[in-house]
Structures are given as structure tokens and as C-alpha cells.
């Protein structure tokens, strides 16, 4: 299916790739990523983030190479083309399971924040149900609605980063010394943990067929990744300087905790507003993951996508109800992060090699 044959209503401008990539990488994790990296790399956590960014840039290049080769096909169609119908569908189903697990991890993560900061007595299933209903409504609006939420969500929440100016005043720069105390292994482990938070690059593999000016996609994808890196780098540097090492190791949501010292004349608890606005931050994540998972099931079973939106939502709601304790949620999120690391940061590299071999042996026949 050529882009020219698609309805004009579902063709997206290339610059929107920046917002798609960045907003999908920015979710619940950024509320407490500093502690996770610090536990591995200590005060050299900022170096681990730089290493992680280099890895992200390489993965984006590999993804864009794969997508450029096939032009109008998404990852699900590429798998069928490369591996055949049966093996391709098995790989596609694994990707769908990852997307659903990622969706559930985001919902549970945000639910935990809401319960810890605002509504401690609200049931997990109730919060997840509300979030899923909002997500279903958005997915039913189509890809342009989802991208629109991503675009607006960026501008509605990006101003929160300027609130970090307040804790910057209380930073102790000696917290960063001695530099390079962490071993290479610890720095790599810190970069590995960072990758758990910046999962979301995979959405490029699913929205690519809807984008015009495909030659500009790589540039905007790299800009989106760089902006994510800059954001995580900033919040981590501020947190390491603001907290002592012992404090940061015990502070689960370092970003939200720093908002406690932000005060306005008519708003005593600014962190409550921040938690509420975090819904706008995670909403693009839930919309894109639900949309991509239902799109994958549509490719596998050749049925209407809207039916799978409901089916997958009910499945996620039922599974979420089994997670009540923080320890269980953390174990599940770690598992999803590990799964996502190999699916998103490792798999595209050998897949790009397979595509390169396919081009050489098949002559790069994109019409197949």
C-alpha cells in the first residue's frame, strides 16, 4: 500500500516524528530514573546517560535503514516479508506481547504514583480502568488523534522542566566528585538501566508508513532522541547535585520529590499538580502502545482493529488487578525493561543486517 494511496487524513508531516519519538520515551520512568542510574554508577550517572544516548542514536539509524528499505511497510509487515507468514506472525505476536506488557507497566507505574501521592485508598483496578477508557477513546480517533495528543502533550508539560530552577539553587557541586570513580562495568550497567526508561523508539517502526517526506524522518527521529537525552541528563544532574548520595538512594521518585520545594502564592503543594499533569505525559505512551498492539493483532489475524482494542484493554485490565504490592510491580517493570531492552535496543541491529542481506539476495524488490 503506497502512501500516495492512503487517505490524506492519515498522512503525517515528518516533523511530527520528533514529538512521537520524544513523548513515547518520556513517561513514568523519568519521575524516578535518577535513583536507578545512581545505584549503578554513583555520581558518574551522567556518564552512563551519555553512553545510553550513543546507543539510542545507533538504534535509530538501524531502524531508519530498515524502514527506508521497505518505505511503506511497518514492522509487522516487514517480519512477514523477511521470515514468511508463520514465523513472521510468531515474531509479531512476541512484539504484541511486549507492547501489552509495556502498556501494563506504564499503567501500574502511574497508578502507584497516584496512590502514593494523592489517593492512597483508590483501588488499582479503578485507576487502570479510567486510564484504559481514555486510551480506548483516543485510539478510536485514529492515528492523527494519537499524534495530536502527543503534540499537545509536549507543549502542555514541557514547562515543568523549568521548575527545576528552584532545586538548582540548592545543588552541592561537590556531589559529583570524584569523577570517573565508577568502573566501566558500572557505567555500562547504568546505561543499561537508562535504556529501561527511554523505551519508546519502537513506535517509529509502526507509524513510518503514515509519514510523508520520509527522507526527513531520520533527522527528526534523532532530534527526538537527543531531546530525550537532554531532558534525562538535566533531571539526573540536578538530582545528584540536590540530594546527598544516601538521600538519592532512598528517594523513589526524585523528580517529583524535588517539586516539593516549588511554591506559588495560591498553590501550596505543587507536586500534586505535577502528579496530575503526569497523566498528560504518559497518555501518548498508552495511546501508541494500545494502537500498535491492536494493529499487530490485526496484521496477524486479519480482523478489524477496533475489536482488538477492546480485547487487549480487557486483557490488560484483568492482568493489572493481580498486581497489588510494590515489590511485585517492580519485578514486573524490571522484566518488561529487560524484554524491551533486547527487543528495541538489541534486535534492530541484527534485523538491519538481515535486511541488508535480503537487499543483496533479493535485489531490494520493495514491491514484494
For the chain, helix (H) and strand (E) counts, in that order, are 17, 0
For residue 3, the model assigns a pLDDT of 44
The alpha carbon torsion through 71, 72, 77, 81 (nearest 10 deg) reads: -50
**Residue 274 reports pLDDT greater than 90:** no
Is pLDDT larger for residue 263 or for residue 144? Answer: 144
Q: Do the Cβ atoms of 41 and 171 come closer than 8 Å?
A: no
**Residue 367 reports pLDDT greater than 80:** no
**Residue 5 reports pLDDT greater than 50:** no
Residues 6 or more apart whose Cβ sits within 8 Å of residue 246: none
**Residue 290 reports pLDDT greater than 80:** yes
For residue 75, the model assigns a pLDDT of 94
pLDDT digits (tens, 9 = 90+) for 215-271: 999 999 999 999 999 999 999 999 999 998 888 888 888 888 887 777 776 666 777
**Residue 1 reports pLDDT greater than 50:** no
Mean pLDDT within 28-49: 88
Is pLDDT larger for residue 231 or for residue 116? Answer: 231
**Residue 146 reports pLDDT greater than 50:** yes
Q: What is the mean pLDDT of the chain?
A: 88
Lowest mean pLDDT among 37-41, 121-125, 310-314: 121-125
Rounded alpha-carbon distances, angstroms, from residue 320 to 125, 275, 323, 340: 7, 21, 6, 19
Domains within the chain, CATH numbers bracketed: 3-362 (1.20.1740.10)
- 337's enclosing H/E stretch is helix 326-340
Under DSSP, is residue 229 helix (H, G, I), strand (E, B) or coil?
Answer: helix
pLDDT digits (tens, 9 = 90+) for 313-360: 999 999 988 887 777 888 888 889 888 899 888 999 999 999 999 988
Which stretch, 102-116, 128-142, 321-335, has highest mean pLDDT?
128-142
Lowest mean pLDDT among 57-66, 82-91, 241-250: 241-250
Is pLDDT larger for residue 179 or for residue 95? Answer: 95
Provide the percentage of residues in the chain whose pLDDT is more than 70. 94
Which triple of cell numbers denotes residue 95? 512484539
**Residue 40 reports pLDDT greater than 80:** yes
Residue with cell 542481506: 357
Is pLDDT larger for residue 275 or for residue 315? Answer: 315
Distant-in-sequence contacts of 359-367, Cβ < 8 A, 24+ apart? 359/69, 364/69, 366/69, 366/70, 366/71, 366/72
d(CA 204, CA 200): 8
Which triple of cell numbers denotes residue 6? 492512503
pLDDT digits (tens, 9 = 90+) for 175-214: 888 888 889 999 999 998 888 788 888 899 999 999 988 9
**Residue 18 reports pLDDT greater than 90:** yes
For residue 266, the model assigns a pLDDT of 67
The alpha carbon torsion through 292, 296, 302, 306 (nearest 10 deg) reads: -30
Q: Do the Cβ atoms of 340 and 53 come closer than 8 Å?
A: no
Is pLDDT larger for residue 312 or for residue 2? Answer: 312
- Confidence band, pLDDT 50/70/90 cuts, at residue 368: very low
Mean pLDDT within 68-78: 91
pTM: 0.90
For residue 60, the model assigns a pLDDT of 95
Residue with cell 510494590: 326
Amino acid at each position: 500500500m503506497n502512501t500516495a494511496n492512503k487517505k490524506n487524513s492519515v498522512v503525517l508531516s515528518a516533523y511530527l516524528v520528533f514529538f512521537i519519538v520524544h513523548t513515547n520515551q518520556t513517561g513514568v520512568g523519568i519521575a524516578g530514573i535518577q535513583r536507578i542510574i545512581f545505584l549503578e554508577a554513583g555520581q558518574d550517572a551522567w556518564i552512563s546517560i551519555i553512553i545510553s544516548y550513543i546507543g539510542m542514536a545507533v538504534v535509530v539509524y538501524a531502524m531508519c535503514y530498515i524502514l527506508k528499505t521497505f518505505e511503506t511497510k511497518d514492522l509487522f509487515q516487514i517480519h512477514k516479508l523477511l521470515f514468511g507468514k508463520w514465523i513472521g506472525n510468531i515474531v509479531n505476536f512476541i512484539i504484541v506481547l511486549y507492547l501489552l506488557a509495556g502498556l501494563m507497566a506504564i499503567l501500574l507505574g502511574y497508578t502507584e504514583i497516584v496512590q502514593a501521592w494523592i489517593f492512597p485508598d483508590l483501588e488499582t483496578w479503578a485507576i487502570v480502568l479510567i486510564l484504559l477508557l481514555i486510551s480506548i477513546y483516543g485510539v478510536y480517533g485514529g492515528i492523527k488523534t494519537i499524534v495530536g495528543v502527543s503534540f499537545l502533550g509536549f507543549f502542555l508539560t514541557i514547562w515543568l522542566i523549568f521548575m527545576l530552577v528552584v532545586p538548582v539553587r540548592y545543588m552541592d557541586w561537590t556531589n559529583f566528585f570524584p569523577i570517573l570513580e565508577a568502573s566501566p562495568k558500572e557505567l555500562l550497567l547504568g546505561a543499561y538501566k537508562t535504556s529501561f526508561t527511554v523505551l519508546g523508539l519502537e513506535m517509529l517502526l509502526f507509524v513510518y508508513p503514515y509519514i510523508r517526506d520520509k527522507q526527513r524522518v531520520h533527522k527528526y527521529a534523532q532530534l527526538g532522541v537527543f531531546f530525550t537525552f537532554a531532558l534525562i541528563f538535566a533531571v539526573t544532574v540536578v538530582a545528584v547535585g540536590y540530594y546527598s548520595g544516601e538521600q538519592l538512594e532512598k528517594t523513589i521518585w526524585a523528580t517529583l520529590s524535588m517539586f516539593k520545594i516549588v511554591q506559588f502564592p495560591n498553590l501550596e503543594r505543587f507536586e500534586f499538580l505535577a502528579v496530575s499533569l503526569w497523566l498528560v505525559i504518559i497518555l501518548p505512551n498508552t495511546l501508541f502502545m494500545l494502537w500498535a498492539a491492536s494493529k499487530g493483532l490485526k496484521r496477524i489475524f486479519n480482523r478489524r482493529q477496533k475489536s482488538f482494542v477492546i480485547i487487549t484493554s480487557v486483557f490488560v485490565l484483568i492482568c493489572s488487578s493481580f498486581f497489588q504490592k510494590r515489590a511485585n510491580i517492580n519485578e514486573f517493570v524490571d522484566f518488561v525493561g529487560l524484554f524491551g531492552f533486547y527487543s528495541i535496543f538489541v534486535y534492530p541491529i541484527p534485523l538491519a543486517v538481515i535486511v541488508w542481506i535480503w537487499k543483496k539476495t533479493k535485489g531490494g524488490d520493495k514491491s514484494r
